[in-house]
Structure 1
Amino acid sequence: MSFKKKSSLALAIIASFHANADQIEVAPADEAMEVIVVNADFNQINIERMPSSVTVIGEQQIKDEGAQHFEDVLNSIANFNWSGGSSRPRYFQIRGVGEQEQYQGAPNSSVGYVVDDIDLSGLGMVSSMYDMQQVEVLRGPQGTQYGANALAGLIYLKSNDPTEHAEHGAKVSLGDDDLRTFSGFSSGAITESGKVLYRVALEKHDQNGFRTNEYLGRDDTNKRDELTARAKLRWYMTDDLQADLTLMHANFDNGYDVWTLDNNGFNTLTDQPGVDNQKTTGAGLKFIYSGGEGFELTSLTSFAKTDHRHMYDGDWANPDYWGGKDCEGEACQYDYTWDKKANRQTITQEFRFTSTESGRIWNGTTDWLVGLYAMNLKEDNDLYSEYNTWPDEVLVSEYDATNYAAFMQFDTQLGNDYLLSTGLRIERRVSDYKDTNGDNFDPSENMWGGHIALSKAINVDHNAYARIARGYKAGGFNMTLPPELADKKEFTAETLYNYELGLKSSWLDGNVDTNIALFYMDRRDQQVSASLQDPENQQRFILFTENAGSSNNYGAEVDAKWYASDNIEVYGSLGLLNATYGDYKYKDKYGSEVDLSGRDLAHSPKYTYSLGMTYFSDAGWFANLNASGKSDFYYSDSNDSKSEAYTIFNARMGYETDTWSAYVWGRNLTDEKYGVRGFFFGNEPDQGWVDKQYIRYADPRQIGVTFDYKFM
């Protein structure tokens, strides 16, 4: 079976297109073209009709590349980056906008992260790809649909739904670094009538983490110990009412031992290796009522509870190491640990009314949607750090924020294949924060966002669009600041205007698909995360967020796919980005003024790219080779420490039948040593605390084998 048929046969019969869905004819099965539905969109629109820049990584590509975690596919996304300050990617940047870390309370994400309609923004670490239907990345502000958590864009993970027919599977992977992954799923009908369906999936992943702790004589201080479980229940309660229950549980009990004083990156000396744990339990309940006169009602309820802990050995060594160093004529004494525990609970409720064909307004030209949304987020933090057995930072905090929003969207057929989409969201946020250091904040604010998009179906193969979107990110406050920074206690909301032109095309009788977008982003009151090393106490860092002047990001994205033959598929992406500060100056730890105006933003490479090819023979043999890379980029907004450009190569090859497959795979085949996070500060007392660049490196080369079995 060819690539087109394998990847699109089931999707081609989906008729949940946009306002002109009734005008689209579904091709016969043997001629079906690939149809990719964007689940994160209100209307679950076909990606080729969606007037914005979106990348969708489907189940076939996830399978072709042997991806086990979101970390394994994120380099395929144009103008996308992540900050490696955690054991798994948790902090993301889209088009240069996003966070690099969160060391204190009051979470305030720029990039939304949603798994099966459960909001995990800022908690993207628990992202197994097993039994995942697709990954969607929506670039630019999603002000109409997702509000304050999606200033830069949205990451949406959609797992497979229950099936009417019974299907089951099991998968085992073994590899170097003592990798062991065991996975399994089961799906089918619970009742003979087929009105109640289920699907469950489970994965246990373990590996040592590619670090050798020479002081402790261990190779598992940076371990990955990850459990992921999902369950879905679908109940067709009546002809007009469908209920979907989603349950998820993830327990990532990982180590965190990645920093070295000599920057070799893989041989550590810590006596108290760090941890990076996240335990998340979530549930989502979705009702779809289609019995209304001219409308459909969707209710989305979600709950998520997360306990996470991040601890690291801040001196990156041990008493024997420091005792052997000379600090101003005496043996050094340096021992520092940092430990933060947090508990977060998020509850959301959304009601959404969507027009049906009979409910279209303005002479049947316009689909409409109106909705209400509420979210409550609570997070308690317990921060403790210790320097030479003395407490350094001790902070217990409580944070409670509630958001209320109303939104609407209208999609109007203007004639001559023009479609006008307009959306508006009005949101109010009320928050309360208090901590044991005496800081109390209770800011509230009103915000709004939306979009106007005009698209034109030039012909059956080309669809062009122009889009203006307004996004927003709530303001906030800085806790535990010294008196000299009292003027930075609070910062205001950020606003982002995104202007975008795009062309989505099919070429060569449908054998080549391309999506091209040009964008210009106008950031106003840009929020900048800054840090200062206290010159009087070298172990202490002062962290704060402040507003810079307006700044502008611009660039382009290209996604392409070429069905070179029935057996060969080539795909790739390219991102070009210029993301710089506007007018922004700050003072360093010595009080000197530093002017960053016009400098590139942190974690904003000027180009990102990926290229992959999959070959599948009629006899069942297959192979995939893919490469991805990016240019150099600044690690931080507070200094000029930079990464190096890199390219990594991955491969997978083996044999597949209708019921089983076996293959070998390799990641980072050339053993490229590349950084994913960097700091520039003084951390060596025997060197007089002189500032120096320290780098956290990504995983080296890894080889493994996998056996996958499915049966009906």
Structure 2
Amino acid sequence: MKFSKKPLASLISLCLINSYVSAQNIDTQLSEQSEQSELERIIVRGALSATPLSEMATSISVLNEQAIQDRQAQHLEDILNRAANVNFASGASRGRFVQIRGIGERSQFTDPINPSVGYLVDGINYSGLLAGASTFDIEQVEIFKGPNSARFGADGLAGMINVLSKDPSEQTSVNAQFGMANYGSWNVGAAVGGGLSDSVDYRLSVHQNTSDAFVENTWLGRDDTNGVDELTARAKLNWQATDKLSIKTVIHLIDVDNAYDTFSLDRDRTTLSDEPGVDTQESEAIGVTIDYQGLAWADVQLQSSFMQADLAYGFDEDWGYVGIAPGWEYSSTDYYFRDREDSTIQAKLISKNSEVNTWVLGWYFADKKEDLTREYTWLSNPFESSVARIDSALFGQYKYVLSDTQWLTTSLRLASQKFDYDDSNLIDQEIDHTDWGAEVSYHQKAGDNSMLYLSLLRSYKMGGVNGQALSKAEDDDFADLQSYILNNAIFDAESLVGLEFGIKGTNDDGSLVLDFTTFYQERNDVQYKNSIVEGQSFVDVYDNAADGKNYGIEVSINYMLSDNVDVFTNIGYLKTEINGITRRDGDVTETINEREQAHAPSYHINAGLNWRVADNLNWLIEFDAKDEFFYSFSHDQQSDNIFIAHTSLDYQIENWQVSLYARNLFDKQYANRGFYFGNDPRDEYEGHLYEQFGEPRRVGINFKYQY
């Protein structure tokens, strides 16, 4: 078969900020204002209007180009551990499923999902499509935490990842890199930009990342059956048509041809699959932003985008080979082919810049289509489904100044979604739902360089259809579950209400930068996935739990110990609870209350030290630590806690930089996805915890050139 090439109160006093505030990564629009603090210089561009990070009344981790370079990251999953209370799950070739403060999906198979954590790149919605999340030529990654539907709609229930690639400028620039690492890994990338004329600037970038990855298939005698092959190209063109009118165009081409062969019957890094799987994405996208500043009372911004993606995800379901256990074995594959098209348009009116009250008014419309073909050994014919979503919203924001040191910000989004689902099992369901997201924030300046804030927020996520479960309602294996399945044909929308208090600021000389947030979130009608197993058959059912709670703190610190040494730490502390989970264990159905939520570790620490050994030599030492967490709601197996160290040595000579690095320096084995069931015919399908392991020790060298 041929597949188209289509990825944590004593601690508070110790820490509060991020290495992302390095002076060499200041937003270009504010680079000349040297008297300002590092925190003030970071502009958050994913907000309804571009706003300094120091004035945002919410928790946001901003990872800039320096943070990406420190990790020698080629993909978004390489840097996510730098953001407190952010976790991710694999179950694919990449960590494609992100959880913020314990909320977020962990997989997708047959049923369409509305992500709890969205993903935007240059304003184009790639939610659910993190396989191709290259970090080459990226200027800034903004991770919004907590309820964010007022800004981003349904995809912002728990947060949003907003990625911004480098913008064009009139100055000619060339950036190139080449790197090699163990496990047959290499990467090459180039970006060039400059002015085509007095009014037109451009930037082009191309990046290829290749690796055999970290699994050896001993049955086939291959070490590349879980390998990655990722090509990303981006183009940007900015045209200043007149003094008042600018048009910005961005084009993305992504070609991910990754293999997928990671779960092991021997529960290690060796597999026995005779039919390794795939995880591919071939997508094209274009976005256009028109800014008009000719009105005396407001600026006008029109944004539109179109994205088309062909996706293939499949695996060897038995994880073995024919002949592994005669009389007990089975052999099957399971493949999912998706065609997705997203068209969006957004219009905004933004009041002219003023030191007094400001506002934003906007309208949003999205037409999203997704067709699925599932080719599964046990199906007589391929399963096909079609989903059409129409999302529309009116939104606005108002900033009301109370005094020179106090102001209020309010945001409101009124949204509607029409959802049509039909499939080859003659299941036809429609959902027409309206909901709303809101934020009310009080800001108080506490001196020249710091701010306190208190925010009340509400977020939402639309409901959906249990297509896979409905298709099995008549199966003999699930006869006693027929009523349950039919009563859960549609699962309801989920809402999230949050309260946050925070401090952002610096000391007078800027040597200490801090960002502290404490939060409390109430989840209502929590959407969760329940996998019901009957013998060797299983069915996934999305259901609504009664409620949930998520609360904790997030702390970031960057402190200059001396002119040559700075230290940083990012700490997350999280407590979660979920009530009303229905789970089937054999013939017994039980309701579980007061259990921790899945993929929600209680603590998460990232800390490190940067030492400028000489003018042209820098040494970084860094570590990530994470508490154990439940893998799923359908079982009680947990991960081990994690402590992994990283280091890199960067040498700069004129326009060249050479970096030697080691990630997971002590080769700690840890996992980021786990399932519990029986799948080994050699022990007659005794239940085991099967895990997908994270990156082992990674040693490499990168060469970078910048002109």
Confirm or deny: 8 A CA contact 1:197 1:234 kept in the other structure. Answer: yes
Alignment counterpart, residue 62 of structure 2, candidates 56, 64, 84: 56
Q: Which amino acid aligns with 1:335?
A: S
Matched, 1:671 2:675: no
Confirm or deny: 8 A CA contact 1:79 1:95 kept in the other structure. Answer: yes
Deviation string 1:199-242 (CA, Å, 9 cap, x unpaired) is 01111111101111111111111111110111100000000011
Q: CA deviation at 1:453?
A: 0.3
Alignment counterpart, residue 435 of structure 1, candidates 417, 423, 446: 423
Matched, 1:282 2:279: no
- Residues 114-133 of structure 1 mapped to structure 2, 5 A cutoff: 114-133=120-139
Q: For the residues of structure 1 that align with 2:22 and 2:491, how far apart are their CA atoms?
A: 51
Counterpart position of 1:237: 241
The structure-2 alpha-carbon separation of the partners of 1:392 and 1:501, relative to structure 1 and needing over 3 Å to count, comes to: farther
Q: For the residues of structure 1 that align with 2:410 and 2:343, how far apart are their CA atoms?
A: 28
Q: Which moved more, 1:61-70 or 1:368-377?
A: 61-70
Confirm or deny: 8 A CA contact 1:517 1:557 kept in the other structure. Answer: yes
The structure-2 alpha-carbon separation of the partners of 1:28 and 1:657, relative to structure 1 and needing over 3 Å to count, comes to: farther
Counterpart position of 1:8: 26
Structure 1: gaps (5+ residues): 15-25, 324-330
Matched, 1:252 2:256: yes
Counterpart position of 1:171: 177
Counterpart position of 1:222: 226
Matched, 1:153 2:141: no
Q: CA deviation at 1:596?
A: 2.2
Alignment counterpart, residue 317 of structure 2, candidates 314, 334, 337: 314
Q: CA deviation at 1:587?
A: 3.6
The structure-2 alpha-carbon separation of the partners of 1:9 and 1:346, relative to structure 1 and needing over 3 Å to count, comes to: closer
Q: Which amino acid aligns with 1:578?
A: K
Q: Which moved more, 1:591-600 or 1:572-581?
A: 591-600
The structure-2 alpha-carbon separation of the partners of 1:157 and 1:4, relative to structure 1 and needing over 3 Å to count, comes to: closer
Q: Which amino acid aligns with 1:117?
A: G
Counterpart position of 2:525: 525
Matched, 1:699 2:691: no
Counterpart position of 1:18: none
Matched, 1:104 2:106: no
Counterpart position of 1:328: none
Q: Which amino acid aligns with 2:656?
A: W
Q: For the residues of structure 2 that align with 1:585 and 1:159, how far apart are their CA atoms?
A: 41
Q: CA deviation at 1:689?
A: 2.8
Secondary structure at the aligned position of 2:615 is classed as coil
Confirm or deny: 8 A CA contact 1:8 1:33 kept in the other structure. Answer: no
Matched, 1:66 2:62: no
Alignment counterpart, residue 629 of structure 1, candidates 625, 650, 665: 625
- Residues 210-609 of structure 1 mapped to structure 2, 5 A cutoff: 210-264=214-268, 266-323=269-326, 331-357=327-353, 365-386=356-377, 390-391=378-379, 394-481=382-469, 482=473, 483-484=482-483, 485-507=485-507, 509-535=509-535, 538=536, 540-582=537-579, 584-609=580-605
Confirm or deny: 8 A CA contact 1:586 1:594 kept in the other structure. Answer: yes
Q: How many residues align?
A: 676
Confirm or deny: 8 A CA contact 1:513 1:560 kept in the other structure. Answer: yes
Q: For the residues of structure 1 that align with 2:294 and 2:119, how far apart are their CA atoms?
A: 32
Which structure 1 residue ranges, 4+ long, deviate > 4 Å from structure 2? 31-34
Confirm or deny: 8 A CA contact 2:583 2:592 kept in the other structure. Answer: no
Q: CA deviation at 1:161?
A: 0.3
Q: CA deviation at 1:112?
A: 1.1
Secondary structure at the aligned position of 2:141 is classed as strand
Q: CA deviation at 1:693?
A: 1.0
Q: Which amino acid aligns with 2:394?
A: A
Confirm or deny: 8 A CA contact 1:82 1:676 kept in the other structure. Answer: yes
Q: For the residues of structure 2 that align with 1:136 and 1:343, how far apart are their CA atoms?
A: 28
Confirm or deny: 8 A CA contact 2:252 2:285 kept in the other structure. Answer: yes
Q: CA deviation at 1:70?
A: 0.7
Q: For the residues of structure 2 that align with 1:240 and 1:516, how far apart are their CA atoms?
A: 39
Deviation string 1:30-86 (CA, Å, 9 cap, x unpaired) is x98761111101221111110101110111221222221111100111111111111
Confirm or deny: 8 A CA contact 1:308 1:342 kept in the other structure. Answer: yes
The structure-2 alpha-carbon separation of the partners of 1:634 and 1:392, relative to structure 1 and needing over 3 Å to count, comes to: farther
Secondary structure at the aligned position of 1:133 is classed as strand
Secondary structure at the aligned position of 1:320 is classed as coil
Q: Which amino acid aligns with 2:450?
A: H
Q: Which amino acid aligns with 1:629?
A: A
The structure-2 alpha-carbon separation of the partners of 1:33 and 1:368, relative to structure 1 and needing over 3 Å to count, comes to: closer
Q: CA deviation at 1:270?
A: 0.6
Q: For the residues of structure 2 that align with 1:33 and 1:703, how far apart are their CA atoms?
A: 33
Q: CA deviation at 1:11?
A: 5.0
Scaled by the length of structure 1, what TM-score is found? 0.92
Matched, 1:41 2:47: yes
Q: Which amino acid aligns with 1:552?
A: K
Confirm or deny: 8 A CA contact 2:168 2:194 kept in the other structure. Answer: yes
Q: Which moved more, 1:651-660 or 1:462-471?
A: 651-660
Secondary structure at the aligned position of 1:145 is classed as helix
Q: CA deviation at 1:392?
A: 6.7
Q: Which amino acid aligns with 1:160?
A: K
The structure-2 alpha-carbon separation of the partners of 1:376 and 1:271, relative to structure 1 and needing over 3 Å to count, comes to: same
Confirm or deny: 8 A CA contact 1:204 1:228 kept in the other structure. Answer: yes
Q: Which amino acid aligns with 1:336?
A: S
Confirm or deny: 8 A CA contact 1:381 1:396 kept in the other structure. Answer: yes
The structure-2 alpha-carbon separation of the partners of 1:694 and 1:303, relative to structure 1 and needing over 3 Å to count, comes to: same
Scaled by the length of structure 2, what TM-score is found? 0.93
Deviation string 1:335-383 (CA, Å, 9 cap, x unpaired) is 12111110111111000000003xx6xxx83101100000111000011
Q: CA deviation at 1:416?
A: 4.4
Confirm or deny: 8 A CA contact 1:616 1:623 kept in the other structure. Answer: yes
Q: For the residues of structure 2 that align with 1:32 and 1:64, how far apart are their CA atoms?
A: 18
Q: For the residues of structure 2 that align with 1:467 and 1:216, how far apart are their CA atoms?
A: 56
Q: Which moved more, 1:438-447 or 1:652-661?
A: 652-661
Tell me the C-alpha RMSD between the 2 structures: 1.8
Deviation string 1:125-147 (CA, Å, 9 cap, x unpaired) is 21111111011100111121111
Q: CA deviation at 1:28?
A: 5.2
Q: CA deviation at 1:5?
A: 4.2
Q: CA deviation at 1:589?
A: 4.9
Q: Which moved more, 1:458-467 or 1:611-620?
A: 611-620
Confirm or deny: 8 A CA contact 1:383 1:393 kept in the other structure. Answer: no
The structure-2 alpha-carbon separation of the partners of 1:228 and 1:121, relative to structure 1 and needing over 3 Å to count, comes to: same
Q: Which moved more, 1:550-559 or 1:60-69?
A: 60-69
Q: For the residues of structure 1 that align with 2:41 and 2:279, how far apart are their CA atoms?
A: 39
Counterpart position of 1:684: 680
Counterpart position of 1:203: 207
Q: CA deviation at 1:391?
A: 3.0
Secondary structure at the aligned position of 1:669 is classed as coil
Structure 2: gaps (5+ residues): 1-20, 474-481
Secondary structure at the aligned position of 1:442 is classed as strand
The structure-2 alpha-carbon separation of the partners of 1:342 and 1:33, relative to structure 1 and needing over 3 Å to count, comes to: closer
Q: CA deviation at 1:124?
A: 1.7
Confirm or deny: 8 A CA contact 2:40 2:54 kept in the other structure. Answer: no
Q: CA deviation at 1:106?
A: 2.1
Q: CA deviation at 1:615?
A: 2.2
